[in-house]
Amino acid sequence: MKIALVGYGKMGKEIEKIALDRGHEIVSKIDVTSSDSFDDDSFKSADVAIEFTRPEAAFNNYQNCFKNNVPVVSGTTGWLDQLPAIEKACKEDGQTFFYASNFSLGVNIFFEINKQLAKIMNKVKEYDVSMEEVHHTQKLDEPSGTAITLAEGIINNLERKNNWTLDTAKEDEINIKAIREGQVPGIHTIKYDSPVDEIVIHHSAKSRQGFALGAVLAAEFTQGKKGMLNMKDLLNF
Ligand SMILES: NC(=O)C1=CN([C@@H]2O[C@H](COP(=O)(O)OP(=O)(O)OC[C@H]3O[C@@H](n4cnc5c(N)ncnc54)[C@H](OP(=O)(O)O)[C@@H]3O)[C@@H](O)[C@H]2O)C=CC1
Ligand SMILES: O=C(O)C1=N[C@H](C(=O)O)C[C@H](O)C1
């Protein structure tokens, strides 16, 4: 496949390695300082664009890809208030958009365990739930996109929780503690605490390889498909 990389930072570089290993060709690398652009024939020739940039840049990048009818796989977090416009572009203009707050297989298994555990907790009122996420100090958004997906997984399955907050939690809220330290690729922990014990589920990424492999698998999956796609479509959980 011909792949365009939009964003050539930590994730763009990791994705490039895996894409080349899997026999793909990188036809364009668009970054703040690169000379490649969305108007180049090389970009227009791409079968898919993989976008990992920053929250405020993502939406404009998607529009530039759509203008050229290039399908998009994106993992950029912190832009989801603009999701309705992307859904509209897919529905009305036949664009293709694959999004995941976290592309790693392990985290997507963790998402499913989180939902199951939340359902069980409807029958056990003694436990209160909270979350912690730890990431490297260059991360711009908080809480992480993954933490928001985990919180939504709890809210949609545990009747006594309706919202999440980074501040002190009211009874119907989940407190998310966001920690920024060192070079941590990403750690997410969910704790159910009762007066007599605690239950903890935890995912810790050892590197960015898992995220990057998932993004390349998603790019392969977009071929011949239209509309909004996600990890549930890819993994068939
Ligand atoms: N869904 C998932 O599985 C994962 C998601 N992420 C998310 O992906 C995003 C990127 O992460 P990461 O690679 O670590 O971040 P980096 O900061 O390392 O890389 C981002 C790159 O995008 C470039 N960039 C900034 N603005 C633009 C623009 N307008 N057009 C093109 N390129 C631009 C930056 O250039 P410059 O440095 O010059 O500003 C930089 O090279 C974040 O939102 C992060 O949360 C990260 C890991 C996994
Ligand atoms: O910025 C990162 O690094 C990461 N961002 C994603 C998120 O916000 O959840 C995924 C992963 O945790 C790494």
Which tens digits make up the pLDDT trace of 184-196?
999 999 999 999 9
Per-residue pLDDT tens for 10-38?
A: 999 999 999 999 999 999 999 999 999 99
Residue 18 and residue 217: Cα distance in Å, rounded? Answer: 10
- Whether residue 135 lies in the annotated active site: yes
Q: Which sequence spans correspond to the domains of the chain?
A: 2-103+209-235, 105-204
CATH number for domain 2-103+209-235, candidates 3.40.50.170, 3.20.20.370, 3.40.50.720, 3.40.50.300: 3.40.50.720
Topology of domain 105-204 in CATH is Dihydrodipicolinate Reductase; domain 2 (3.30.360)
- Whether residue 203 lies in the annotated active site: no
Query: What tokens does 224 get?
Result: 């011949």
| Torsion on CA atoms 83, 86, 90, 93, rounded to nearest 10 | 150
100 lines ligand 1 (CB under 6 A): yes
> 145 C-alpha vs ligand 2 centroid, how far in Å?
6
Average pLDDT, the chain: 97
> 144 C-alpha vs ligand 2 centroid, how far in Å?
6
**What's the average model confidence in pLDDT over 58-83?**
96
What band does 237 get if pLDDT is binned at 50, 70 and 90? confident
